[in-house]
Amino acid sequence: MHIRKDDMVEVIRGDDSGTRGKVLRVDRAAGMVVVEGVARVYKHVRRSQRNPQGGRLSRETPIPLCRVMLVCQSCSAAVRTGVRLVDDGGKVRICRKCGAQTGQISPPKARRAKKKA
């Protein structure tokens, strides 16, 4: 899974297709993601100490991870991602369209580092 919290993603299927938003939460076990402003539903709440007025609260619901694509910061397009090893032994996400690095996946490890001649 190459989608993380605070990534900018674009919805590619469903009622909200074409909408871009920030990832609020990722549930890796269920394969779901909560995106800001996408798949909004109304929750009706009674009057209580917490909600003295009651009414309808609008909140986002999770959508399947297969319905979103990462938005590259350099080419600003919804792209597929890949993994590339860096010289120090770390792994980074890359944009398949322009080749730009979009974030670190794992920290540097000595066993994966390139040997210096």
Question: Domains in the chain: how many in total?
Answer: 2
**More confident call, 95 vs 112:** 95
Averaged pLDDT score across all residues of the chain? 92
Average pLDDT over residues 71-90: 92
Q: In this predicted model, what pLDDT tens digit does every residue of 82-92 receive, in sequence order?
A: 999 988 888 99
State whether 10 and 67 are in the same domain.
Answer: yes
Q: What is the pLDDT of residue 117?
A: 60
- Bridge partners, 41 (sequence order): 59
| Domain span including residue 99 | 80-117
Q: In this predicted model, what pLDDT tens digit does every residue of 9-20 receive, in sequence order?
A: 999 999 999 999
Q: Residue 103: which residues within 8 A CB-CB, separation 6 or more?
A: 4, 7, 92, 93
Q: In this predicted model, what pLDDT tens digit does every residue of 1-10 receive, in sequence order?
A: 689 999 999 9
The closest of 113, 112, 95, 93 to 103, measured between CA atoms, is: 93
State whether 56 and 87 are in the same domain.
Answer: no
Average pLDDT over residues 55-77: 94
State whether 10 and 51 are in the same domain.
Answer: yes
The closest of 92, 88, 86, 81 to 110, measured between CA atoms, is: 88
State whether 94 and 116 are in the same domain.
Answer: yes
DSSP characters over the chain: ----TT-EEEE-SSTTTT-EEEEEEEETTTTEEEETTSSEEEEEE---SS-SS-EEEEEE--EEGGGEEEEPTTT-SEE-EEEEE-TTS-EEEEETTT--EEEEEE---GGGSPPP-
State whether 11 and 65 are in the same domain.
Answer: yes
